[in-house]
Amino acid sequence: MKDWTFCPRCGDRTRLDGAGEDTHVLCPACGFTKYDNPLPTTVGLILDGDRILLLRRAHEPRKGAWDTVGGFLSGAETAEENLVREGLEETGCVLRNLRFAGSYPSVYGDTGLKTIGLAFTCELPPDAEIVLSEENSEYAWFPLTDRPPLAFSDCEAAVSDLAALTSRTGSA
């Protein structure tokens, strides 16, 4: 928020106003207000029984860390459309059987950008052949309860919740 030094509407100097989670940028000249709202992302929990597909990131932030399929939503797409698009881009496969699993706050690496991850369980088609994009260097299937730490806290929380639910009910 401190980067918003000048108003994008009138060009005058802005100031931080409010306190705590209500802190926002305010332009005293024209009244422009900018809150630190999170950017929406998707978290694809691609399952095969009690296993989850994870991808190793090839770029920053968190290069080399394991991650789920997903990404930032574009202008007019729904979260489901975004996840299908991201799945196709990142794995070469069309994701199916999307089911909303929850929403999770996070921060995008060291950028400071707040996000809200919209998590979905999903599957690959039975005949799927994974072909990674340049965004990822490898993929692997891991048991939900025995997997590496994940790159972002929204993905980590979504997979942890799913693993806990699966261990209680016996199914994903």
pLDDT confidence of residue 168: 75
pLDDT band, very low/low/confident/very high, at 62 (cuts 50, 70, 90)? very high
pLDDT confidence of residue 171: 63
Residue 123, CA distances (Å) to 11, 62, 127 in order: 48, 25, 11
3-state secondary structure of 64: coil
Mean pLDDT of the chain: 95
User: For residue 72, what is the domain's CATH number?
Assistant: 3.90.79.10
For the residues 60-87, what does the mean pLDDT come to?
A: 97
Task: For residues 45 and 96, state if they share a domain.
Answer: yes
What residues make up the domain containing 18?
1-36
**Are 52 and 141 in contact, with CB atoms under 8 Å apart?**
yes
Task: For residues 151 and 88, state if they share a domain.
Answer: yes
Task: For residues 19 and 98, state if they share a domain.
Answer: no
For the residues 114-125, what does the mean pLDDT come to?
A: 97
Question: Both tokens of residue 141?
Answer: 């299937």
pLDDT confidence of residue 147: 97
pLDDT digits (tens, 9 = 90+) for 34-59: 998 999 999 999 999 999 999 999 99
pLDDT confidence of residue 170: 65
For the residues 123-151, what does the mean pLDDT come to?
A: 97
Work out how many domains the chain is built from and give that number.
2
Task: For residues 72 and 94, state if they share a domain.
Answer: yes
Task: For residues 47 and 29, state if they share a domain.
Answer: no
Task: For residues 53 and 129, state if they share a domain.
Answer: yes
pLDDT confidence of residue 47: 98
Task: For residues 77 and 159, state if they share a domain.
Answer: yes
Spatial distance between the Cα atoms of 166 and 172, rounded to a whole number of angstroms: 5
Task: For residues 16 and 54, state if they share a domain.
Answer: no
Q: Rounded to two decimals, what is the model's pTM?
A: 0.89
Task: For residues 12 and 78, state if they share a domain.
Answer: no
Task: For residues 29 and 62, state if they share a domain.
Answer: no
- For the chain, helix (H) and strand (E) counts, in that order, are 2, 9
pLDDT confidence of residue 29: 97
